[in-house]
Amino acid sequence: MKRTIKLLALAGLFAVFAAPALAQTDKCTEEFKSATYQKWYDNRKGDQDTAYQAAKDYLATCTTEDQYSKALKNFVDAYDKLHANTKTNSDFQAAYEKNNYAEQLRLGKQIIATDPDKPAVYIVMGLAGLGDPALLSESAQYAKKAIEMIDAGKPFEPYKTKDEPLAFLNYEVGKATLASAPADAIPYFLKAAKLESALKKNPQLYLDLAAAYNDGPRAKLTEEYNRAVGPNKTETPESKLALANLNQVLDRQIDALARAAALADAANKTAIMGELTDLYKYRNKSETGLNELVASVLSKPVPDLPTPLTSLPATTPGSTPATSGPSTSGPPPTGTSGSVKTNGTNGASTTGQKTTGSATVSGTGTAKPAASPTPQNKKPRSNHRRG
């Protein structure tokens, strides 16, 4: 008798646990299928939230695949993906508005992984490095892609003109390249300076350009000159040619520093003028014409990279009119780079990501200004180290 009671108790226990499963199975009736599928079908275009809930109910209740389940599952998957992307886009917009540069890169990667045709996302990611120097290297890869897309005719929102994003994007790539390959950074800085944007009025751009000339072609040509001079530092045809090419680079460096000085505020102009004066005096043996250069330089086009000379010209070109002649006694050492930094109190900024760019280059402390060279009238040296 006791055994019978125990068996009956166990049977009752199994029945309790089995009841929900039997109840769930009982719900998946033909009537349920027809009504739920119809609900999804009627709302799948006009009210997708309702359609989504109907599809979820159907798949949760009727777990065996049938003639409806595949279409419903595809709808649910597409809905989930769409809303996941919507949230990512919303988070990306928030990161953009808050100037959260690391999040811009993280979320931007997720967006372009599913929709690579997003030039606005590439632009924001490509400018993140101007806001956070730690992101420069990674951000520059997206800047290059953004440049490619804009040049191909893609939209350039959130900017109003095509030149504006291209200027900042080229500047970003130049900044990322400056430390490792300064000569390669020069074309990007020149492109940024020649495009019509707020950036061309920022002295920091020209300090970076001067630093690129200093650490790139000037350092290389100084080494070439030192190798070409004869015994007891006597000039040779090879050293003279190297010096002629070097003087062309010095002229570009002087031009860049003059633009920085012309655009700098009073707090920074003195330091920039000090560096410019040293280099100008070495190149021209005098300060004659320097003030006139600074006063007029912004009215002139930014000079291109010099074409390398393969033979000596009749006269080596001077840097400006009204000078006392070019240097012919050997190059100065490459500059120390690092003594001039602008705080940008009167300089143009990139105007911020919220309207046209990623960050303020100068004036906010978000991007460390690059240094300009410091020429010194000492014995030429073959090695150069940035400060």
Split at pLDDT 50, 70, 90, the class of 49 is confident
Residues contacting 214, CB < 8 A, separation 6+: 182, 253, 334, 335, 337, 372, 373, 384
Residue 52: the pLDDT is: 81
Q: How confident is the model at residue 333 (pLDDT cuts 50, 70, 90)?
A: low
Yes or no: say if 318 and 248 are a contact pair by the CB < 8 Å rule: no
304-324 tens-digit pLDDT? 999 999 998 776 444 333 333
Rounded distance between C-alpha atoms, residue 13 and residue 371, angstroms: 81
Q: How confident is the model at residue 277 (pLDDT cuts 50, 70, 90)?
A: very high
Residue 203: closest CA among 132, 287, 294, 136: 294
| Mean pLDDT for the stretch of residues 22-40 | 78
Q: How far apart are CA 205 and CA 171, in angstroms?
A: 8
Residue 148 has pLDDT above 90, yes or no: yes
Q: What is the distance between the alpha carbons of residues 187 and 145, in angstroms, rounded to a whole number?
A: 17
- The whole-angstrom separation of Cα 212 and Cα 210 is 5
Res 97 pLDDT > 80 = yes
Dihedral pair phi/psi, residue 266, rounded to 5°: -60, -35
Calpha distance 64→48 (Å, rounded) = 24
Kindly tell me if the per-residue pLDDT of 361 is higher than 70.
Answer: no
Rounded to two decimals, the pTM is 0.69
Whether pLDDT at 124 is above 90 = yes
**Average pLDDT of the residues in 283-293:** 96
Reply yes or no on whether the pLDDT at 17 is more than 50: no
User: What is the residue-averaged pLDDT of the chain?
Assistant: 79
Q: Which residue has the higher pLDDT, 349 or 275?
A: 275
**Rounded to an integer, what distance in angstroms lies between the CA atom of residue 374 and that of residue 332?**
10
User: How many Å apart are CA 49 and CA 52, to the nearest integer?
Assistant: 5
Per-residue pLDDT band at 84 (split at 50, 70, 90): low
Which pLDDT value is given to residue 44? 84
